[in-house]
Amino acid sequence: MADGVRLRWRRGARRLMFLGVRSLLRAIGFARAGAAGRLAGELQFRLGGRSRRRMQAEMALALGRAADDPAVPAMLREAYRVNTAALFEVMAMLDRRQDEATLLARSEVEGLEHLRAALGDGRGAILLAAHMGNAALLPLRLASAGWPVSVLYKESRMMSADFFHAGLALYGVQGIAANAGIRAYAQMLTALKQGRIVFLMLDQGVKQAKDGLVQRFLGKDMPMPAGPAQLARTARAPVLPVATTAAAPLWRFAVQPALALGRESLEADVASLVGATEAIVRRHPQLWSWQQRRWRKFRPAAS
């Protein structure tokens, strides 16, 4: 009973936090959302206490650095600031339609030639991103240029019902709720068959080990979703990793060449996707959301 009460209290607290941040963003507007988010991230880092120190130690292990390396807390601090700023921007973008020119001016993308080549055979393409800054700007940018885009997202209890789906629709982007399970898989498969771009992430893993394949990811053995690899195999669609390479003065994204998949087992393909995502995080560790709960709850691997 006590555990149930604590769970309901935490969910209620997160809901109140969402409503409070949403009210703040409506008052200050999208233009100031990033600055407000960086300030909130700075406060989170400074007040993190034992949880933050544990993350610093685990981050050092994941990156192969010494526990007392002064670069680690500096990178973690920036990750807090960058990703809280991104969260505030995403909330502002999806809560109210923003001026398209303003959004386009916030980011730059390189490597679109890889995406054009991948779409050449009419099977659609999968963009494999990570929780690194405001990656939501990329599908919005593609949609504004006339590319048909579908985004896989996870519904959260703390947010208003249909927040992501309705918000993405404001910009002509199809939202697919991952919570729908097999229905979401069918929607993504249909989208690829229609030649659409499917934008998804796998770096938060899955809640239950039975729902994924255990992979070593940033120093931790955690269940990772097999769905993206299975989707690519079934649709015979190319998978192109997307890296966030900078947060200021603009968000910068780089679309990489398609990965070679489907030649071995499903497990090998899952490992390839996890490895590609890990490589991107290792190149830009200050931009990844180390504080997200799905990674943080696992202990470092024994070896």
Quote the percentage of the chain above a pLDDT of 70. Answer: 98
143 residue type, one letter: A
d(CA 168, CA 91): 11
Question: Mean pLDDT of all residues in the chain?
Answer: 93
Q: Which residues have CB under 8 Å from 226's CB, separation 6+?
A: 212, 213, 266, 270
What is the pLDDT at residue 28? Answer: 96
d(CA 147, CA 124): 11
Among the listed residues 49, 33, 39, the one whose alpha carbon sits nearest the alpha carbon of residue 89:
33
**In which element (H, E) is residue 174 found?**
strand 174-177
The burial of 164, by beta-carbon neighbours within 10 Å (0-12 exposed, 13-18 middle, 19 or more buried), is given as: buried
d(CA 66, CA 56): 11
User: DSSP H helical segments within the chain, as ranges?
Assistant: 2-28, 30-46, 49-63, 71-95, 100-104, 112-118, 137-144, 163-169, 182-193, 227-235, 266-283, 293-296
What is the pLDDT at residue 297? Answer: 87
pTM confidence score: 0.93
Q: Which residues have CB under 8 Å from 160's CB, separation 6+?
A: 18
Q: Where are the beta strands (DSSP E) in 190-264?
A: 197-201, 213-217, 220-224, 239-246, 251-255
Domain ranges of the chain: 2-289
Q: Which residues have CB under 8 Å from 88's CB, separation 6+?
A: 21, 25, 33, 34, 36, 37, 40
Q: Which residues have CB under 8 Å from 117's CB, separation 6+?
A: 258
Q: Which CATH topology does 2-289 take?
A: Glycerol-3-phosphate (1)-acyltransferase (3.40.1130)
What is the pLDDT at residue 3? Answer: 67
List the chain residues with pLDDT less than 50.
Answer: none
What is the pLDDT at residue 231? Answer: 96
What is the pLDDT at residue 205? Answer: 84
Sheet holding 149-153, edge to edge: 107-110, 251-255, 239-246, 125-129, 197-201, 149-153, 174-177
Residue 117 has which token pair? Answer: 């080549």
What is the pLDDT at residue 7? Answer: 67
What is the pLDDT at residue 47? Answer: 95
d(CA 192, CA 189): 5
CA 22-27-31 angle, to 5 degrees, is 90
d(CA 290, CA 107): 22
Residue 91 has which token pair? Answer: 């909330």
Q: 132, 288 in Cβ contact below 8 A?
A: yes
